[in-house]
């Protein structure tokens, strides 16, 4: 399987210089940029975006997508300030040289999600209208707790807005009780790229291939070029100081540092793709 790798390298370290180091040492070409030097990507200045792009380019790296928080808000919250921030994000994406923005479809009450369909679609339509002509591709991620957390509602979004593509996250589907193969059957025509994140039936996130996300199967079906690693693995501070007999008590997939967890996530994916 010949894929190019991207990553949420802020899971290795908060500082962009160390994110770049983690990418270099793990053979990762692209950054899904989320947090840099203590700031969320939605909040950085134009000057900071230019600085980050130069640092990445000097290292032979590039931004794959804005791992933004757009749409990660309550459906009843005031949308207009959020929309203005999204418009600034389009400028940030252009400065960083990326053609993708990851976004969400708003937190809704779990038992009454369908009651908010019209409002969700109206807000997504405003995102799409703002992005029109920018050359930026909007990509919806199936995040737990939002309107598009299960495959059927994701499908509603993509049918309503074919221009909005899918970020397919297996672990998020598992955490919503959604079988990933069933989700893939519904959504694969719309998938722009995948987040590589696996989980057990109880929702505990584990390295790729160690959970029930069917990641080897999904990668065989996937026709895209880029995979974004999103480790989300547990870091246990002080793990390295524990005695060997105590380590087994906290589970096999917890790590002594963020960087160790990041490296483990990369290695697990590489074992699958060869």
Q: Determine the Cα–Cα distance for residues 200 and 175; give it in Å rounded to an integer.
A: 9
CA atoms of 73 and 79, how far apart (whole Å): 9
Q: What is the pLDDT of residue 247?
A: 41
pLDDT at 274 over 50: yes
Query: What percentage of residues in the chain have a pLDDT greater than 70?
Result: 94
How many C-beta neighbours within 10 Å does residue 97 have? 12
pLDDT over 50 (residue 165): yes
CB-based contacts of 60, cutoff 8 Å, min separation 6: 29
Say which CATH number the domain at 215 has: 3.20.20.150
Q: How many domains in the chain?
A: 1
CA-closest candidate to residue 66, choices 39, 88, 96: 96
On the 0-12 / 13-18 / 19+ scale of CB atoms within 10 A, 142 is: buried
User: Is residue 253 very low, low, confident or very high in pLDDT (cuts 50, 70, 90)?
Assistant: confident
Q: Which one, of 214, 138, 204, 149, lies nearest residue 176 by Cα?
A: 149
Q: pTM of the predicted model, to two decimals?
A: 0.94
Helices and strands of the chain, counted as H and E runs: 10, 14
Q: What is the mean pLDDT of the chain?
A: 94
What's the whole-number mean pLDDT along residues 17-23?
98
Q: How confident is the model at residue 238 (pLDDT cuts 50, 70, 90)?
A: low
Domain that holds residue 213: 4-273
Contact 99, 64 (CB under 8 A): no
What pLDDT shows up at residue 240? Answer: 54
């Amino acid at each position: 399987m010949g894929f190019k790798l991207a990553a949420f390298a802020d899971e290795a370290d908060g500082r962009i210089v160390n994110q770049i180091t983690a990418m270099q040492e793990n053979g990762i070409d692209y950054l899904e940029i989320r947090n840099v030097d203590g700031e969320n990507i939605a909040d950085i200045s134009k000057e900071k975006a230019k600085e980050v792009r130069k640092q990445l380019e000097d290292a032979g790296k590039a931004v794959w997508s804005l791992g933004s928080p757009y749409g990660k808000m309550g459906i009843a919250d005031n949308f207009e300030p959020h929309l203005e921030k999204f418009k600034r994000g389009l400028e940030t994406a252009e400065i960083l040289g990326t053609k993708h923005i990851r976004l969400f479809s708003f937190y809704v009450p779990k038992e009454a999600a369908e009651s908010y369909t019209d409002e969700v679609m109206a807000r997504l339509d405003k995102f799409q209208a703002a992005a029109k002509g920018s050359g930026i591709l909007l990509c919806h991620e199936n995040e737990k707790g939002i309107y598009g957390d299960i495959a059927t509602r994701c499908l509603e979004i993509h049918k309503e807005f074919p221009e909005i593509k899918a970020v397919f996250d297996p672990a998020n589907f598992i955490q919503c009780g959604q079988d990933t193969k069933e989700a893939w059957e519904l959504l694969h025509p719309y998938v722009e790229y995948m987040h590589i994140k696996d989980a057990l039936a109880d929702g505990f996130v584990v390295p790729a291939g160690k959970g029930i996300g069917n990641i080897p199967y999904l990668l065989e079906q996937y026709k895209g070029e880029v995979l974004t690693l999103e480790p989300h693995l547990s870091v246990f501070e002080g793990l390295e100081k524990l005695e060997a007999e105590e380590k087994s008590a906290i589970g096999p997939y917890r790590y002594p540092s963020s960087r160790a967890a990041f490296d483990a996530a990369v290695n697990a994916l590489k074992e699958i793709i060869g």
